[in-house]
Amino acid sequence: MSTVTQIKLALKARLSLLADVDQAEIDSYLPPVKTERIALVIPPFGQETRVDRLTATGRFQLAQAPVMQSHRLRCEFWVKVDTGNLAQTMRRASDIPLEAIRLLMADQDLGGAVSRVGNFGQGDNRWSISSETIDRPVEIAGVPYIVVVVNVPVIDYADA
């Protein structure tokens, strides 16, 4: 069973492969200063964690039942606004969430860090990853960014 930090490192490694992602952080909540195009930031904000014991009545002792931990992790893509090529910036901000989701679909266990990407909690049989774009640019040190959030649910099973 992986720790949340190990899962974030696996997400960082995978999502850093996307075109134009030039910086990636799990230890910050703001984009790195060196960002030229897109920074991936995986902060603890908005994170959900759930732990379930998988038991069947009369079949397992609770202490011996397998454990399933679920996490919903917030992956933020900070798309730096290029005022000289605003149309390209808007296209990248529009396309990056679907590209991220497709990339995660291709690696359902994040290189062995989790049991499954795309589900959250016991009884969740639907594969679902959602995204949201913050409704206005966010300015950091005078630099405007479009922040695109991809919420990635994962499940990780382990023995008791």
Q: What digits encode the pLDDT tens for the residues 110-139?
A: 999 998 899 887 766 778 899 999 999 999
What is the DSSP annotation of 11-47?
Answer: HHHHHTTSTTEEEEESS-SS--TT-SSEEEE--STT-
Q: Which residue has the tokens 């995986």?
A: 42
Q: How far is CA 102 from CA 17, 27, 41, 95, 96, in A?
A: 12, 25, 19, 11, 10
Q: Comparing 58 with 52, which gets the higher pLDDT?
A: 52
The reported pLDDT for the residue numbered 123 is 66
Q: Residue 80's pLDDT band (boundaries 50, 70, 90)?
A: very high
How much is the pTM? Answer: 0.89
The Cα–Cα gap between 125 and 138 comes to: 36
pLDDT at position 54 over 80: no
DSSP state of 64: G
